[in-house]
């Protein structure tokens, strides 16, 4: 009996454990299958819209006068008058008397030269009379041979005429010196600096003042040579007259905490291209920069003022303007098709700006161009699209 229990007990334990295991396996709940949701990347896109755009090239520079000279005397003498306009910053008009030198020495010299001219005229008259008398005497002798030039007093007559011409030239020189004792403004302008006063003795060629014209202000604007393609630059050729093209330029400057604007024109290019930077220098001109404007608060476009320039260039049709972020490579963008899939597209670029790009061909109106930068993008990738407004024109 005892032996029988020892044998049956393990068998019963094994049967019970197997039954429990079977029950657990058969009766466990069936696991539900959950589909994993795939999240598509969200991209920003801009709808393609062709438009006509006018190119603009930006630069900057300082205002300079068109003409600037040193005011120097052509005669020496003592200063007896200085115009009130001949001071630092003073304005003057063309032909205005700026300075006078004591004229008495020049008046005396002119009087002396007038006397010399009268004397030479008298001598010439005598020589002409004597030459005429010699001609008559020779004819009265009835000789057939031609008379010698000395007989007819031709050398004496020529010398008298030359002496009169020299005296007249000296009179003109004396008159010019008297005229030059009064220094007049060669143009309407302004005084940059002056160093002369009444009572001062000045010599020929000594600088008295530095003056510049105020009829036109000029600004030298340097741009890369590649940007010339977008402008009607007034190029000069040796065998042609001055060019007619004159692009407009908008100039802005900050003064006294405010921004002001002037309009000018590109009138010419500099004489050379910078060999190091490949920059072309354009000369912008603004007429009458010191005149009053409709905006009474606007200051004059003064010499030395720093200005920002926006040069208005050529107009191009059928362009698409996109931000630079739209470019996936040098000349390729991503287009979103009707199934919201990304497609690579080759495009032709007209111009690359600092924050935008102009495309001339490769895109159709209404297409969506992806503006977002994606990692590991493939052709045909599905995305979610958020359409943004096109850039400001």
Averaged over successive runs of 10 residues, the pLDDT of the chain (393 residues) comes to 58 62 58 62 90 92 95 95 95 95 95 93 85 72 65 77 92 94 95 94 94 95 90 70 75 91 90 84 93 83 94 92 87 90 91 88 91 86 84 46
* Whole-number pLDDT of residue 310: 94
Q: What is the pLDDT of residue 6?
A: 61
- Give the SS3 label for residue 279: strand
| Separation between Cα atoms, residue 274 and residue 281, nearest integer Å | 8
Check if the beta carbon of residue 329 is closer than 8 Å to that of residue 374. no
pLDDT of residue 377: 86
Phi/psi of residue 144, nearest 5 degrees: -85, -25
> What pLDDT is recorded for position 240?
56
C-beta neighbour count of 247 within 10 angstroms: 21
DSSP 324: G
Say which residue the tokens 């020529």 belong to.
Answer: 158
Picking from 320, 315, 314, the residue whose alpha carbon sits closest to that of residue 360 is 320
């Amino acid at each position: 009996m005892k032996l029988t229990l020892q044998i049956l007990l393990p068998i019963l334990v094994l049967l019970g454990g197997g039954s429990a295991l079977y029950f657990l396996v058969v009766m466990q709940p069936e696991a539900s299958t959950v589909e994993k949701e795939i999240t598509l990347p969200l991209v920003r896109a801009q709808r393609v819209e062709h438009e006509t755009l006018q190119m603009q090239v930006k630069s900057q520079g300082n205002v300079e006068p068109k003409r600037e000279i040193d005011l120097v005397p052509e005669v020496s003498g003592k200063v007896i008058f200085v115009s009130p306009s001949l001071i630092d910053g003073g304005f003057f008009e063309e032909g205005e008397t700026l300075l006078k030198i004591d004229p008495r020495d020049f008046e005396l010299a002119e009087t002396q030269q007038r006397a010399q001219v009268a004397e030479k005229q008298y001598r010439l008259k005598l020589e002409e009379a004597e030459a005429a008398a010699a001609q008559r005497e020779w004819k009265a002798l009835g000789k057939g041979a031609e008379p010698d030039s000395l007989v007819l007093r031709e050398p004496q007559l020529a010398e008298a005429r030359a002496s009169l011409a020299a005296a007249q030239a000296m009179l003109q020189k004396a008159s010019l010196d008297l005229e030059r004792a009064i220094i007049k403004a060669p143009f309407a302008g302004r005084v940059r600096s002056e160093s002369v006063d009444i009572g001062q003795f000045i010599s020929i060629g000594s600088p008295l003042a530095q003056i510049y014209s105020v009829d036109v202000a000029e600004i030298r604007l340097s741009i890369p040579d590649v940007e010339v393609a977008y402008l009607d630059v007034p190029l000069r050729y040796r065998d042609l007259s001055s060019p007619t093209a004159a692009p407009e330029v908008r100039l802005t400057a900050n003064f006294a905490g405010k921004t002001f604007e002037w309009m000018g024109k590109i009138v010419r290019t500099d004489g050379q291209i910078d060999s190091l930077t490949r920059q072309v220098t354009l000369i912008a001109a603004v007429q009458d920069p010191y005149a009053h404007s409709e905006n009474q608060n606007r200051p004059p476009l003064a010499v030395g003022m720093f200005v920002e320039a926006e040069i208005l260039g050529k107009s191009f049709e059928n362009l698409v303007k996109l931000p630079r972020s739209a470019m996936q490579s040098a000349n390729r963008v991503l287009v979103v098709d009707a199934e919201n899939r990304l497609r690579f597209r080759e495009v032709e670029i007209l111009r690359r700006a600092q924050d935008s790009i102009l495309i001339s061909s490769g895109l159709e109106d209404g297409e969506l161009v992806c503006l977002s930068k994606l990692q590991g993008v493939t052709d045909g990738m599905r995305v979610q699209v958020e359409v943004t407004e096109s850039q400001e024109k």
